[in-house]
A = this chain, B = another copy of it.
């Protein structure tokens, strides 16, 4: 495939936005894309921020022509644990019709489909690109940028590919995303590490205390999150919406995860738990001795990375406040608890039947030979809620990945058939849009 070679080059740049040591590499990934868009006739602006640059680019063919704003991100998740990758995360490898690399699906590969779709395209459509390098850390600088440059970004539709098809071969349009509230919790006991023999029996143990706190965050039996007020703004899903959802194969999902049960909140189906119910998950835990063998230490400190996925109408700020207050309440006496807010993003629901969604549905059906299914997604794209508000324009979420793409995990991949057909779908969408089908 013609598009593949430059994509492999882009994927080889380790643009890990959360890692301060990678800052220059993150910038390099932005510059790479800027050059690529320039070659396609775009006028580009690289906006520096306190962290990673925002790339804005536009190719305006005619005033009054329909205008599309493409959003994507050029940063990627950290690649660890490195030892579980079959090929190195930043040496892209093609095996069995898939490209393996960190960022292959999330989001360089998907965003690249939007770039490749424009080569030689003659549709009468104005195209704008808004590409950030901080999506994986909560888009702290993009959200103010969107507010500050509303006029520049105005468009008839915002087009975003940073998600997954419902299943292989099933074209998919997504109309909902969960939000996110991500905290780091640190718990300190004594003022120094202690010998567990000399002090065991009188010393605070922050690892043990984290256990007590975790058990108070989520009920073991019901899976309910125990933070008071947490569910207050959660909107129930109308039965008629659920009736339109595709059927989830629980057996296939169990097989994919390698589990015999799908644990979660009592009283809701797995699909509803994934799409329309909030979650709480520790994403990391650390404290004390982690090396080989044993060390009889009672550590002075232990910590948690803790995130919550949110659904309409939960608000990340409010949830962070509720969680922080509750964490302090359940922290046992004798420990010092500190909470740091790492990032957040609002949940969003869009209209699945807006005119551009209908147009994209047509493009999908023409290319894949079947109409798309309509889904929500469990993940978060912080800017979507912001764009929806700032542009007052419909949003089209066109996922080109697959559920088994290993996002945020070792061996991330993108199926080349999805890339190829994704490019074709996007081209067809522009043609339909340019021909005045909306």
* CB neighbours of A261 from chain B (8 A): 204, 333-334
* CB neighbours of A203 from chain B (8 A): 257, 259, 262-263, 281
Cross-chain contact A260 with B334 (CB below 8 angstroms): yes
Return A282 CB to nearest CB of chain B, in Å: 4
* CB neighbours of A307 from chain B (8 A): 196, 294, 296
Contact with B along A403-428 (1 / 0, CB 8 A): 10011111000000000000000000
Contacting chain B: which of A212-220, A233-241, A388-396?
A: A212-220
Q: Determine how many copies of this chain the complex contains.
A: 2
Is A12 part of the contact surface with B, judged by Cβ < 8 Å? Answer: no
For residues 190 through 236 of chain A, which have their beta carbon under 8 Å from a beta carbon of chain B?
A: 190-205, 207-208, 210-218, 220
Cross-chain contact A294 with B285 (CB below 8 angstroms): no
- Can you name the residue of chain B whose Cβ is closest to the Cβ of A342? B294
* CB neighbours of A362 from chain B (8 A): none
Cross-chain contact A205 with B294 (CB below 8 angstroms): no
Cross-chain contact B377 with A180 (CB below 8 angstroms): no
Is A20 part of the contact surface with B, judged by Cβ < 8 Å? Answer: yes
Is A298 part of the contact surface with B, judged by Cβ < 8 Å? Answer: yes
Cross-chain contact A207 with B18 (CB below 8 angstroms): no
* CB neighbours of A380 from chain B (8 A): 197, 296
A77-B295 in contact given A214-B215, A281-B208 (Cβ < 8 Å): yes
Is A178 part of the contact surface with B, judged by Cβ < 8 Å? Answer: yes
Contacting chain B: which of A28-36, A168-176, A270-278?
A: A270-278
Cross-chain contact B214 with A208 (CB below 8 angstroms): yes
Cross-chain contact A378 with B201 (CB below 8 angstroms): yes
* CB neighbours of A208 from chain B (8 A): 214, 217-218, 281-282
